[in-house]
Structure 1
């Protein structure tokens, strides 16, 4: 099917805006052209001189816990996990997790996310099926805490392997899988090694939390005599494709090691701030050449899945921390939330509006006071420092129109919100 989206301002990181149109051939972008189209297509949409931007890539989250938004505010990570997250999740039923996953999909799509990573431990095959049926795009992994009996550990690794076997590169390539042990402080070395072996066997991403809090980092050093980053390196886990979540408590030698081993990082600024975990050394990591991507974490710790908010927070906090307005730039942050995220997830062909790339993008309504003056040379600045997620009016994933004029086309938003409230009430 040939589609044309005309009369748009095409905005890519590090590139001059293009006033013109995009031609889609099935799920891919065939051409990006300046001017007005003269050819015919099966479908033509007039963008009304609005911005067409790459969809956001959210590199870390936990969709299944979305119903715990606001359930445990204002407490440190360790206390929050032990008193709010883990006790509540033990009570989750299939309907709880389904309602939470649907809610996360609605929120992410309405804020312009076209690709996301999800680490969760309950009902992941069912979530994969929902993603396949509704047109979303994701990196999925069975989140694993490597504690308990040997049989329990084997069962978790088997579930992770089955998810890979059944869902990797499925749904027209919209679903890929990864191996996701929770963290070095919840997974002993032998479990981390077995997880890495599984990732290596299938050639998939290895993703884990790392050095999120000072307490966990210090305890790991006390127990093993090594910083978590050094320990992962000693276990030879960095020989495969690795994305670390958080990486807040790093010293220069750890940053150098991540760069040497080509390890990417998912920066989750709002969650780290809300949990009092600290501020990741993003400026130093970027200066070292590390690919620092952006993730939201879960609504239980953020409390939103809004990549527009996350992008702006990422842009601003480091300026204040370093008392240097040049320590971050709008262009760099926009790239981290799009093409950089796709590279961190090892998903080629997305995060940019260009020929040969998948048609994953958003149409932004620029007719708003906070986006005025609407000058092309200020577009990236406006996207990072002024845009709101409600300005995103249309979204496409793999060429499929997923949202039009803020109305979701593959999910019943009203039903999803009703069911989420219903299941949350049951938890109470």
Structure 2
């Protein structure tokens, strides 16, 4: 099937940040085979022509750190610091999750992601008490692309820990290449404070033997820094380095408290950072210095974290917040310009989670893209300033259509792969079964 998309402005988000105002894109076998100005000579052997009616087209957004299984916990434990929030609210409620709750919660989160323009995500979920296979199968039906990874914690007994490792490795092997390659998994130790050295070393082994990356929360709060220093006499980054974590492709979520030496170490080992500005603000954790990370050469992606600490999956809001924070802390409006900010949520974000085959509109990249119709949106006027609006004015609910692998999964704001009414009704019913 060869489809051509015409009559649109294409924001490629390639390295040159090219824009094709009167553009044309041809998709064949789930990939882009042409992107550029409208060329009638290319309209040969075309099976389908899609007129986009002057919409803006950009790559699907990439959310580099999320927790979709926690979606039903939105609004639980507001206005709390991270440690008591996890220990007294989130983890106790997660222990009550059934497979049905986890599946519905994940579908609700992905529904929100898709409708607001996210086509790729990298996620960590707590497998405690749920059928992980059923949850990832339900996720596969939504059409989204991403990495869905079991969170690993240290257990109180060696027998429990051994069972956790066995299950994590089974899941990793089984779903490393799933849903025709749309879904994969990583090894996801929760954090250096929730995982002892033995656990982290075993995570490295699983990642190494199965050739997958590692996804872990690191340096999120000042309290974490002090806790790890008290336990091991080093800061979290050095602690993980000593244990061999960075020998594998690694994504660290947060990285709020990093010094110059640590940023240099992350660059040396090719470690990527998932930046969660709104979650870090809401939990009172702090503001990550993303400008310094980028200047050091570290790849950074934008992320939402869970909606329990955000409280939504709107990546447009996240990108804007990320940019404004850096301008504010540096007292310099030239920091974090439009093209850079958008690239961290598309091309560079995809690179950060090891999915270089998506994140920009280029030949041979996956046909993952979204459309926005600016003509009936007063906040996107004048349309001549489109690039500025995409960062400083656009909202997730401005997204009209969403395509993944060239397949339309959202059409005119309606999700085609998820029964919206059913999922919303079930989510509210199941939330009532949880005690807080």
- If the length of structure 1 is used for normalisation, what is the TM-score? 0.97
Distance in 2 (CA, whole Å) between partners of 1:64 and 1:141 is: 11
Match of 2:25 in 1: 22
Residues 1:239 and 2:239 are matched in the alignment = no
Helix, strand or coil at the partner of 2:427: helix
Maintained 8 Å contact 1:7/1:36: no
Aligned pairs (5 A) from 1:294-333: 294-333=302-341
In structure 1, list runs of 5 or more residues that go unmatched: none
Distance in 1 (CA, whole Å) between partners of 2:188 and 2:67 is: 12
Q: How many positions carry a matched residue from both structures?
A: 426
Helix, strand or coil at the partner of 1:184: coil
Match of 2:67 in 1: 62
2:103 corresponds, among 91, 98, 101, to 98
Distance in 1 (CA, whole Å) between partners of 2:158 and 2:387 is: 51
Maintained 8 Å contact 2:219/2:258: yes
Match of 2:342 in 1: 334
Maintained 8 Å contact 2:153/2:199: no
Distance in 2 (CA, whole Å) between partners of 1:16 and 1:63 is: 33
Aligned pairs (5 A) from 1:386-425: 386-425=393-432
Q: In the TM superposition, what is the alpha-carbon distance from 1:147 to its structure 2 partner?
A: 2.8
Distance in 2 (CA, whole Å) between partners of 1:326 and 1:34 is: 31
Q: In the TM superposition, what is the alpha-carbon distance from 1:307 to its structure 2 partner?
A: 0.8
Q: In the TM superposition, what is the alpha-carbon distance from 1:347 to its structure 2 partner?
A: 1.2
Maintained 8 Å contact 1:212/1:248: yes
Deviations 1:343-397 (A, max 9, x none): 111112100011101000101111122111112xx33221111111111100001
Maintained 8 Å contact 1:209/1:246: yes
Match of 1:356 in 2: 364
Distance in 1 (CA, whole Å) between partners of 2:395 and 2:203 is: 39
Helix, strand or coil at the partner of 1:31: strand
Distance in 2 (CA, whole Å) between partners of 1:292 and 1:299 is: 21
Residues 1:6 and 2:6 are matched in the alignment = yes
Maintained 8 Å contact 1:167/1:175: yes
- If the length of structure 2 is used for normalisation, what is the TM-score? 0.95
Deviations 1:135-170 (A, max 9, x none): 221101110111321121121121211112211112
Q: In the TM superposition, what is the alpha-carbon distance from 1:36 to its structure 2 partner?
A: 5.2
Match of 1:158 in 2: 166
Distance in 1 (CA, whole Å) between partners of 2:288 and 2:155 is: 27
Residues 1:86 and 2:88 are matched in the alignment = no
Distance in 2 (CA, whole Å) between partners of 1:168 and 1:234 is: 27
Q: In the TM superposition, what is the alpha-carbon distance from 1:54 to its structure 2 partner?
A: 0.3
Maintained 8 Å contact 2:147/2:186: yes
Maintained 8 Å contact 1:69/1:301: yes
Maintained 8 Å contact 2:107/2:142: no
Distance in 1 (CA, whole Å) between partners of 2:367 and 2:430 is: 35
Distance in 2 (CA, whole Å) between partners of 1:333 and 1:240 is: 27
1:265 corresponds, among 265, 268, 273, to 273
Helix, strand or coil at the partner of 2:24: strand
Maintained 8 Å contact 1:11/1:379: no
Helix, strand or coil at the partner of 2:186: strand
RMSD, aligned CA = 1.2
Deviations 1:231-255 (A, max 9, x none): 1111122111010000111111111
2:35 corresponds, among 17, 32, 37, to 32
In structure 2, list runs of 5 or more residues that go unmatched: none
Helix, strand or coil at the partner of 2:348: helix
Helix, strand or coil at the partner of 1:221: helix
Q: In the TM superposition, what is the alpha-carbon distance from 1:127 to its structure 2 partner?
A: 2.2
Match of 2:351 in 1: 343
Distance in 2 (CA, whole Å) between partners of 1:398 and 1:127 is: 21
Match of 1:374 in 2: 383
Q: In the TM superposition, what is the alpha-carbon distance from 1:398 to its structure 2 partner?
A: 0.7
Match of 2:202 in 1: 194
2:141 corresponds, among 133, 137, 148, to 133
Maintained 8 Å contact 1:242/1:264: yes
